[in-house]
Structure 1
């Protein structure tokens, strides 16, 4: 069983790899593989528009060779600081389109895809492919995040809604929920709302979380979830990703899109 850490910039390498190691702590026998996709317009089968966009990147990010070299140097630097007793992390580099490469590399032995939340084209393409096309849960790490002394994700918050996408996300997160010392299932409810009992929304009878009900406010559901997770000092927030079609969320807004904007802690996403 593997955890695939997709590296999408040299600056976010430590966050992506730290997150993958923490996730691996909950999966006995799991190993981490670092994947760099070298997106080189000179070796792409793509439309002329896509190739032109990739060529324009070079003005601010450097060419494909320079980006690949910087990412490998960041990986080597991170690896050198881990000590001789740390479990080895494999390195793999492939050349191709980000989307196709992530889908191809997310084979049957991949339990989780880990990425940092970079604001670049490669990261956007990789996240889209990981969420919509791999059928794997995705651990998204804030770019500057570091785990500190955490040995694993010990306190996990869950954004609880009466929704099949959310239930699938909780089931996908089961290995990490089982390893956690504390689980807080957060539901956002309007004042006076007589909606579903939070316990009835929870799909894992063998795991009992602390149910936390938070009143809604003028802020978005995403902002309220993140604020409550931070208040509870959670290490990780589990959420369903894109319960509606991605295009609909992009056009009209949605919880997932808002979460990607405001989250300051790792997110475990499943579509």
Structure 2
């Protein structure tokens, strides 16, 4: 069955990281397609509150017009293609651009795909795209640091840490990551003592050799945030991919009280597969 990957190229600066991640994700699959989507957020074509349109017009002073940003992103895409003429010959890759609001357009386009790929944002379009990916599309997503590259010797999905807490979001993330989990050399299921860990469910959701799976229980270290503790463990285990659920509560509560997901997203330096 074909896995349809949507690489969300919200901005030129992060396009290489996003495309590298889409390529890395596709390499592990037997049958995949990649579409690179850029949304042209043109204030003159938006149906939006006047404040939003004014803000988008103000951006032109610092970032160029929507058309200029789109042209820069397309040039970044073309440069990437020239340096990766046929990274995996059997994997189709195409460019698509649409005019509209970032979030609404992504939500609509995502319906035809299985997983989203994004790079950590540097501009407002990237922030809007990630917001839509997490809260609105219902799809699992791959997120990479804005400067991440698939360099020689870099691996993706060979050694995976699953931050398991038994929540519905965590289960969705594991389900979305199942194509890569099946191909992994090592899987470490990491649980933190305070969360409660119905580990039995994990083995039911993916068909992998149980010998590949290591279960690691750790005590909650109150000297650091849970997000920092998770990332320290991910590095200690030498993982190249982290799988975890994103956000347990609604977005206002998460913003108000702070949370593990935000800590991880702000500080991660390896790819992450998440779901809400």
Q: Specify if TM > 0.5.
A: yes
Q: Distance in 2 between matches of 1:228 and 1:140?
A: 19
Give secondary structure in 2 for the equivalent of 1:42: coil
Q: Distance in 2 between matches of 1:130 and 1:222?
A: 20
The alignment of Structure 1 onto Structure 2 pairs a total of residues equal to 266
Distance 1:196 1:134, change over 3 A: closer
Unmatched tracts of structure 2, length 5 or more: none
Q: Distance in 2 between matches of 1:210 and 1:86?
A: 31
Distance 1:201 1:14, change over 3 A: same
RMSD, aligned CA:
1.8
Deviation for aligned residue 1:5: 0.2
Find out whether 1:64 has 2:69 as its counterpart. Answer: no
Deviation for aligned residue 1:158: 0.8
Q: Distance in 2 between matches of 1:37 and 1:111?
A: 19
Q: How high is the TM-score relative to the length of structure 1?
A: 0.92
Unmatched tracts of structure 1, length 5 or more: none
Q: Distance in 1 between matches of 2:16 and 2:144?
A: 10
Find out whether 1:187 has 2:188 as its counterpart. Answer: no
Deviation for aligned residue 1:101: 0.7
Match of residue 38 from structure 1: 40
Match of residue 206 from structure 1: 207
| Residues 202-248 of structure 1 deviation map (CA, whole Å, 9 limit, x = unaligned) | 25363332112233221111111111111222111111011111111
Match of residue 153 from structure 1: 157
Structure 1 runs (4+) greater than 6 angstroms displaced: none
Q: Distance in 1 between matches of 2:224 and 2:122?
A: 24
Match of residue 270 from structure 2: 265
Distance 1:205 1:73, change over 3 A: closer
Deviation for aligned residue 1:85: 6.0
Match of residue 166 from structure 1: 170
Q: How high is the TM-score relative to the length of structure 2?
A: 0.90
| Residues 168-225 of structure 1 deviation map (CA, whole Å, 9 limit, x = unaligned) | 22122111110111111111226xxxx7456335253633321122332211111111
| Residues 52-107 of structure 1 deviation map (CA, whole Å, 9 limit, x = unaligned) | 11112122211111111110111111100113464342000111000111011112
